[in-house]
Amino acid sequence: MHCYFIISNATINHYLLPNNIFIYISSPEGKIVAMSISEKLGDKKPIFKDRNVLLSAHDPVSLENVVHRDEQIDCYQNHLKYALEGFVPDNLFIYGKSGTGKTMLTRLVLEDLLIVAKDLKVNIAVININCENDFTENAVWQSVNDKMPIPEHHTRRKIGNSCPKHTTYFQDLLNMYDGILIIVFDEIDKAVSSFSSVDFINKIVRMKSATSGFSPCVICITNDLQFASNLKPHVKSVLLQSEMVIPPYNASQLQDILRIRAAAAFAPNALNEVVIPLCAAIGAQESGDARRTIGLLRIAGDQANNRDIDRVVTEDDVRNARTIQEKDCFFEGVRTLPLQSKLVLLAAIFVSKMDGKETTTKEVYATYCTLCKHIGMDILTYRRVADLLSELDMLRILSSHVVSRGQHGRYKVINIPRITALLELRIYDDPRLFSISELKVRRLRKYI
């Protein structure tokens, strides 16, 4: 079968399409030029053997393939082995910067635990919740209840948007389960917009199954090293029974991780020998983040793959890849800001859009309060918002300078980068803020 695309005056992106796909480009004179992608690929020397191995969703298949995490795996397994002996492990809090392997280790260690538990005929169930997807209390309850083990004869009930009803239903399901239940809340900081909302975890860890007498074991994972210090003491005492900190990788560890990935991802002799040490050195210098470093290698590979000649990944490809990654990094930095900082940034953008208005902290604060009310968020103090504006300045997301008004004192003027449209789009990637995207500046004007 042949597949045809008609594209007018278009640039073609390099998608990997199956064979027998023809692209018909109509030139400005209306002439049709046919080009087969398989022809375009020609018999160029391949760069990639399996590019998917370099995508962030790809993890090692088992714990044996994980390098430089023996100590952490050991610690994790020692912690969880109690479950195999019929005891509920302590709740565990895992911290570490992004890309240090927290999600991967948790998944692989728990998969391993379930295999051994099956052999030993010990009843253990694991529920994984990614709070980046399920960030409201109701969504978390919904997901937990959807994933709870249920007896064969039981039909899972549908609960609407009622947290108290979800809580009661969870207790019912827990009462029917006679094993050890482990619930993982990955990226827990994303589910907690105000710190009172960790109450759902507090409730979960304090419940007991009427059948087994066990409470669930909760594993919380976060990149936010400050997260626990903001928890209320009674929540802290139950959630932080045990803690594990996962350190960033150094250059030599990143090299080993990259070599394993590269062997599976690249065709033989596709990489110049400096490429892996250079990627690892850059990765270690920046953050020790394996995800970002693997990404750097992938972008460098793409650079070479887009060339018709000299099809080997070189030092220059890595340097170009770094520039590309840095550009993305600005927006990535915005995407991963905490919710309150995103609201402050949005408020500053809204104020800057009002013609003839200088953006001052006072005006940003007024707009910020309106946005918070719009999405039902707790409102921070003026002082805290001013601090968040300074943090955004330090991150170079916006800039500010102090202006003197003579005897009327001094005030701060905030400058927003010109790429506000792109910036806003990135902020609205956060589904919690989506409803703000429909708010018109006009409607906000009356509050200021």
Ligand X SMILES: Nc1ncnc2c1ncn2[C@@H]1O[C@H](COP(=O)(O)OP(=O)(O)O)[C@@H](O)[C@H]1O
Contacts with ligand X by CB under 6 A lie at 56, 58-60, 66-69, 96, 98-104, 257, 290-291, 294
| Site pattern 96..135 for Mg ion (x: CB under 5 A) | -------x--------------------------------
Name the burial class of residue 311, with classes exposed (0-12), middle (13-18) and buried (19+) by CB atoms within 10 angstroms of its CB. Answer: middle
| Cβ-based nearer residue to ligand X, 96 or 216 | 96
Residue 89 touches which of ligand X, Mg ion, none (Cβ within 5-8 Å per kind): none
Residues 340, 377: Cα–Cα separation, whole Å = 9
User: Which of Mg ion, ligand X, none has residue 259 at its interface (CB below 5 to 8 Å by kind)?
Assistant: none
In the complex, least distance from residue 20 CB atom to ligand X, rounded to whole angstroms: 33
- The answer to whether 270 and 312 have CB atoms below 8 angstroms apart is yes
Task: Determine the residue with CB nearest Mg ion.
Answer: 103
Q: Which is nearer to ligand X, 67 or 366 (CB)?
A: 67
Smallest gap from Cβ 142 to ligand X, in A, equals: 23
Residue nearest to ligand X (CB): 101
**Least distance in angstroms from the C-beta of 96 to ligand X:** 5
Nearest approach, Cβ of 62 to ligand X (angstroms)?
11
Sheet holding 3-8, edge to edge: 3-8, 21-26, 32-36
Partner from Mg ion, ligand X, none contacting 100, C-beta within 5 to 8 A by type: ligand X
CA dihedral 432, 438, 439, 440 (to 10 degrees): 150
Of 216, 246, 305, nearest to 97 by C-alpha is 246
Nearer Cβ to Mg ion (103/341): 103
CB of 9 to ligand X, least distance (A): 39
Name the nearest CA neighbour of 148 among 60, 87, 225, 207.
207
Closest to Mg ion by CB, 95 or 368: 95
Closer to ligand X by Cβ: residue 271 or 369: 271
What is d(CA 344, CA 62) in angstroms, rounded to the nearest whole number? 42
Cβ 199 to ligand X, closest distance in Å? 25
C-beta of 56 vs 194, nearer to ligand X: 56
- State the minimum distance, in angstroms, from the CB of residue 332 to ligand X: 13
By rule CB under 5 A, what count of residues binds Mg ion? 1
Query: What minimum distance in Å lies between the beta carbon of 189 and Mg ion?
Result: 11
**Minimum gap (Å) between residue 290 Cβ and ligand X:** 4
291 binds, among ligand X, Mg ion, none (CB under 5 to 8 A by kind): ligand X
Among 52-60, 95-103, 245-253, 381-389, which window interacts with Mg ion (CB under 5 A)? 95-103
Angstrom distance (rounded) from CA 372 to CA 436: 10
d(CA 330, CA 328): 6
Partner whose footprint covers residue 52, from ligand X, Mg ion, none (CB < 5 to 8 Å by kind): none
- Sheet order of strands, 180-186 included: 124-130, 180-186, 217-222, 92-96, 242-246
Output 184 or 204, the one with its CB closest to ligand X: 184
Q: Which does 204 bind (CB under 5 to 8 A by kind): Mg ion, ligand X, none?
A: none
State which residue, 94 or 334, has the beta carbon closest to Mg ion.
Answer: 94
Q: Which is nearer to ligand X, 110 or 148 (CB)?
A: 110
Q: Please, which residue, 173 or 246, has the CB nearer to Mg ion?
A: 246
Site membership for Mg ion, residue 212 (CB under 5 A): no
Give least dist CB 285 to ligand X, A: 17
* Binding-site partner at residue 295 among ligand X, Mg ion, none, CB < 5 to 8 Å by type: none
Q: What is the binding site for Mg ion (CB under 5 A)?
A: 103
